[in-house]
Amino acid sequence: MKKNYIVPFLFSMSILLLLSINIYSQKFEKLALTPPMGWNSWNTFACDINEQLIRNTVDEIVASGMKDAGYEYIVIDDCWQLDHRDSLGFIIPDLERFPSGLKAIADYIHSKGLKFGIHSCAGSRSCADFPGSRGHEYQDAITYASWGVDYLKYDWCNTEGLNAEGAYITMRDALYSAGRPVVFSLCEWGNNKPWEWGAKVGHLWRTTGDIINCFDCVVDHGTWKSWGVLPILDKQDELRKYTGPDHWNDPDMLEVGNGMTVSEDRAHFSLWCMLAAPLIAGNDLDKMSEDTKEILINKEVIAVDQDPLGIQGFKFISNPEIEVMFRPLVKGDWAMCVLNRSRSSQKFSFDWSREHISDDLSKRKTQFDEITYNLENLWMGKDAGTTQQILKAEIPSHDVLMLRLSPIRTDKMK
Ligand code: GLA
């Protein structure tokens, strides 16, 4: 090459390099305009997973009505791989557990109109000590794309020395360059405040350590803790400004049907919907009781969770026994959830004419003096009067009253 061509040549090469970096420096947009819904193997089965379980779960999601209710992603959590990579560094599925291989399982999931999710880890090893993606991000992303993976839950064990944002960006870019749209779920437990940087990296980020099937307890395992429903709820207050369409706070997967009482399951589910949380069921669908199913597929409650505005609810009254949350919804509606945190039933009354709900974040407020709202009791599935009458209720221990308020249109409002 002649000397006077070298500078322009190098210049155009660097432009090309910069462009190619930019092309792959993003997440897949608009994959999670409402909080993702699905099922994940971890909460019930941990490492006790296999192909039959996944196939049965897929069948149950369809047969139970969960698919119709919106559950979409079937996510295989930790322990699906062998404990070493192949000689070229590719990840190997455990064919004893999954004899047909993961591509065939993905095909089965897709054939039912559902989507396929998998788990990996930003560290060298996963939390259950299987190979993580550190140093193999692009290789793994290509492998997932070849299997038909639609959702990646990306964990944070064994990440000593790694910068969290950087590590998640590396995997984001690897997924993007592999070309198959993947919902990217950051499972970093909130240690490095992923709500501050996660929106450009993934579609949801864990805000806490692992959930446990207990309504009001924290279990200390020494180096880490697991958290019940109420302690997780209480950690979400300051985070609502970070959540929204395509970038969700994730207070962890559901424990509905995993041993709490029906009241507690109902409260847990309602609260997650008030928070605009991802709804990832974690129970054994084969053994699901009618009570559990009714909770998981209540379409009116799910509609609160999936409200297109994507505004997280907030606490309006907070005392040790009774807590009241409100959440602004489309068309001027509101969701209201009255939670009894105590161990005995509580009487509750709410005089609308004396209350004024105002949300600085969404700039929404109620005008109970000027607008009458219809009340729908979302768990009873019935009309509950209007805001013209004082609301009176008795709420069992660890249960909720959940209402949807819809303005009654008057000529004055048109
Ligand atoms: C971490 C995650 C859990 C689960 C396990 C698997 O603890 O937070 O949700 O994925 O790893 O090992």
What would the DSSP string read from start to end of 79-96? --B-SS--TTS---B-TT
Could you tell me the distance, in angstroms and rounded to a whole number, from the CA of residue 180 to the centre of ligand 1?
24
The strand ranges marked E within 248-333 are 248-250, 279-281, 314-318, 322-328
| Cβ proximity of 194 and 188 under 8 Å | yes
Atom of ligand 1 nearest to the CA of 189: 8
Give the pTM: 0.94
Q: Is-catalytic flag, 210?
A: yes
Segment 181-226, tens digit of pLDDT: 999 999 999 999 999 999 999 999 999 999 999 999 999 999 999 9
Q: Is the pLDDT of residue 3 over 80?
A: no
Output the CA 203–ligand 1 centroid distance in Å.
18
Q: What is the pLDDT of residue 410?
A: 61
**Mean pLDDT throughout 346-357?**
97
Q: Whose CA is nearest to atom 11 of ligand 1?
A: 127
In this structure, the residue with its CA closest to atom 12 of ligand 1 is 127
- Looking at residue 409, its pLDDT comes to 75
For residue range 90-133, what is the model confidence (pLDDT) as tens digits? 999 999 999 999 999 999 999 999 999 999 999 999 999 999 99
Q: What is the pLDDT of residue 414?
A: 40
- Respond yes or no: is residue 333 known to be catalytic: no
Structure tokens at 135: 């140093």
Residue nearest to atom 3 of ligand 1 (CA): 210
Tell me the CA–centroid distance for residue 207 and ligand 1, in Å. Answer: 13
Q: pLDDT > 70: what percent of the chain?
A: 93
Instruction: Convert the pLDDT of each residue in 27-65 to its tens digit.
Output: 999 999 999 999 999 999 999 999 999 999 999 999 999
Position with higher pLDDT, 7 vs 58: 58
**Residue 25: its pLDDT value, please?**
87
* CA 195 – CA 190 distance, rounded (Å): 8
Structure tokens at 192: 């490095």
Task: Give the number of the atom of ligand 1 that is nearest the alpha carbon of residue 127.
Answer: 12
Indicate the residue type of 128: A
CB-based pocket (< 6 A), ligand 1: 42, 77-78, 119, 126-128, 155, 187, 210
Torsions phi, psi of 401, nearest 5?
A: -115, 125
What separation in Å is there between the alpha carbon of 141 and the centre of ligand 1?
A: 20
Q: Where does the pLDDT of residue 9 fall: very low under 50, low under 70, confident under 90, or very high at 90 and above?
A: low
Q: Which atom of ligand 1 is nearest to the CA of 206?
A: 8
φ, ψ of residue 272 in degrees (nearest 5): -65, -35
Mean pLDDT of 143-165: 98
Residue nearest to atom 6 of ligand 1 (CA): 78
Tell me the average pLDDT across 298-322.
Answer: 98
Among all chains, which residue has been given the structure tokens 């190098």? Answer: 10
Higher pLDDT, 4 or 396: 396
Atom of ligand 1 nearest to the CA of 46: 6
Q: Which of 78, 150, 155, 173 is catalytic?
A: 155
Q: What is the mean pLDDT of the chain?
A: 95
Go through the chain and tell me how many residues it has.
414
Q: Which of 210, 250, 305, 399 is catalytic?
A: 210
